[in-house]
A and B are shown apart, each in its own frame.
Chain A
Amino acid sequence: MELILGSFGNVLTFQNLTFMFIAMTLGMVAGALPGFSATMAVALLVPFTFTMSPTSGLVTIGALYAAAIYGGSFSAILLNTPGTPSSIGTCFDGYPMAKNGRGEEALYTASFASGIGGIIGTIILIAFALPLATWSLQFGPPEFFWTAIFGLTIISSLSTKSVLKGFTAGFIGVVIGMIGLSPIGGDVRFDFGISNLQGGVEMVSVLIGFFCIPEMLKLASNPRQEHMKVGTISGSRESIVKAFWNVFAHWGNIIRSSVLGALVGILPGAGGNIANLVAYNEAKRAAKDPETFGKGNPQGVVATETANNAVVESAMVPLLALGIPGSPPAAIIYGALLLQGINPGPELFTKNAEITYAFMTSFFVVNIFMVIIGIMAGKYIFKFVTSIPTRVLIPSILLLTIVGSFAIRNNIMDTILMLGSGLLGYILNELDFDSGALVLGLILGPIAEKGFVQGIILGNQISTETPWIIFFTRPICLVLIAMSLLSACWPLFQAYRRKKKAAAAGGAA
């Protein structure tokens, strides 16, 4: 406790606050630009931190990372473009809100939600870093396979039009995810004879394509229309008040989403990308009005934004407690730590405890700052985007998506795929294929494959004839299987309940 209080002193120096402020502003800009990911922002900042003291350096990186994840909500809400996989869920309700003239409210809701999610995430990080890290080690290949399957079952409640098509879209995503180097065999496959496809399909460019391009095309069909209604009824102040109550009148949603975000976010690889969708799914399931989700329900924004900002802190758990970089940004911070001469891992809590606790407590400051900066910036960003006429907006956004998709890996193939998936996405949407489901398949497919093949190899330890048995013998696997079944069948159950209710109502009348 003393360490924690003392660390506030280490964080709250004028120099650190200045660094943090600059880093957060840059991070928000980076997050808001589609294709310019948190990972890239962190990588770019690292060289500058070498000249700083380890504490300042880490605190600055942390601030940038958190702000970049939050910044993704701007483009998700205003342009239906998730800047990173972490804000996919924000599009589902944020963009409809913006189209209905509640864009400003949605932006502020995202700020408050991100802030509180981040703070809860920080508390979890400080209180439970070690036990959670040890828990996360229990997840071996078979567990990751089932985690991915569980993630895929979200489709059943995500796809509103047709569950069958939702799963088909999900599997198409899985298949697209198989392009390129196979994670275990090391062979290049499904490359259609194009050597640039060896690198596989970059998830973020496809994400931008599927979500943003169809919207731009729809706008282009009538370039003289308005992009979104400007909220005429409520001004900025009312929007802030509404947004505040959207968030703080729903503690159940906040706690559930941030705890889910923190737990799922710890799992290396899978966690950060799907935590927001898991939280969204649960919020929808718990809601009394699940049918309004996807049509502009602020609780959808609250769930995803609290979850993805809780992920920021929990992604640090394996790194700080065990020295295992679990996510790409964490890997970069790992490198930065090494170059600073600090050995990530248990030493961080003994020899370098001062630095570590300063790093962790700095997230409190960051998240409070974030709400303030977010609300101030949100107003202007909203005004700016709505002031651009649609006919100028379309080419400008296309330019942004092209540059963004290229910048991720400096690969022209990614840009071509971005646009290709966008054009395809328009038609798929019209065929009632759900782009959220497809993208989920794309994210989880490779994780499932890795878990599956590694699991099969591991299974040889148990039995060389039936190595697949390993997927059914481990306790966590069984829990995950049960959760998957429950999640997959939930919509059926709900439909049954609704029918029964309707029948009862009919009987009464």
Chain B
Amino acid sequence: MKKGVNVDLWAGLFTLAVTGLFWMQILERDEFSFHSLIYPDRILPILGILGAVLVVKGFVSPTRKVEFCKELNTELVFTAVVSAIWVLAMDYLGFLLTSTVAMFLMLYRFQPKELRNAKSLMQFCLIIFGELAFMWLVFVNFLAVSLPEGQFFRMIGLA
């Protein structure tokens, strides 16, 4: 086994997975009109073939990458997870609450340990408050964008 990740093989498998995922959704062909299927019917096989070629290439003459995802560390995963929760929770808990929490977590985590003191916590709050106030002012008040207020609050409000 040579060193490095076989990126061709993985890319091919990913492509095949995408093809499969989409193909599954047009199996019940009666549900769609002719004009809705004629194009996917041509595109999906092409994508499938490209994926298959990549898989074959992965076995025959693979490109190997030693530095695959070299940036991947706990900080990156932390950022990805926090932002994912931020976005997913926004509809339920509202823009202001989720943004405050998520931004605070990130600022706290990225701050060097020795500098996490009361003063920097105050700074974080100021940054978050300032940015959120600016966003709210510009987008909600001026541009009439209805940033989510939170389904959860709406629900208990109605109850």
Contact = CB atoms under 8 A, between A and B. Distances in A.
B74 to A, nearest CB: 9
Given A399-B99, A427-B69, A394 B110 contact: yes
Q: B interface, by DSSP: helix, strand, loop or mixed?
A: helix
A202 interface: no
Given A187-B33, A396-B131, A430-B65, A168 B54 contact: yes
B46 A431 contact: no
Interface residues of B, number: 69
B151 to A, nearest CB: 10
B55 to A, nearest CB: 11
A359 interface: no
A187 B36 contact: yes
B110 A403 contact: no
A348 B40 CA distance: 42
Contacts of B71: 217-218, 221-222
Contact of A423 (B25, B80, B131, B135): B80
Interface stretch (A171-179, A231-239, A249-257, A293-301): A171-179
Nearest to A196: B91
Nearest to B42: A452
Contact of A399 (B33, B53, B76, B103): B103
B54 A164 contact: yes
B88 to A, nearest CB: 7
B22 A178 contact: yes
Contact of A407 (B15, B84, B145): B145
A410 interface: yes
A506 to B, nearest CB: 24
Contacts of A384: none
Interface stretch (A84-92, A365-373, A412-420): A412-420
Contacts, number: 176
B54 A430 contact: no
Identify the 7 closest CB pairs spanning chains A and B, nearest first. Answer: A185-B36, A391-B110, A185-B35, A223-B110, A221-B71, A220-B79, A182-B36
Interface of B: 7-8, 10-11, 14-15, 18-19, 22, 25-26, 31-40, 43-44, 46-47, 50-51, 53-54, 57, 63, 65, 68-69, 71-73, 75-76, 78-80, 83-84, 86-88, 90-91, 95, 99, 102-103, 106-107, 109-112, 127, 131-132, 135, 139, 143, 145-148
19 contacts: A168-B15, A168-B54, A171-B47, A178-B22, A182-B39, A185-B33, A190-B22, A221-B76, A222-B71, A396-B103, A396-B127, A402-B83, A403-B145, A406-B148, A410-B146, A431-B10, A432-B11, A432-B65, A453-B35
Given A171-B50, A185-B36, A191-B25, 20 more contacts: A168-B47, A168-B50, A172-B15, A174-B47, A175-B19, A182-B36, A189-B32, A190-B22, A217-B71, A217-B80, A220-B75, A220-B76, A398-B83, A402-B83, A403-B139, A406-B145, A412-B148, A428-B14, A431-B7, A453-B38
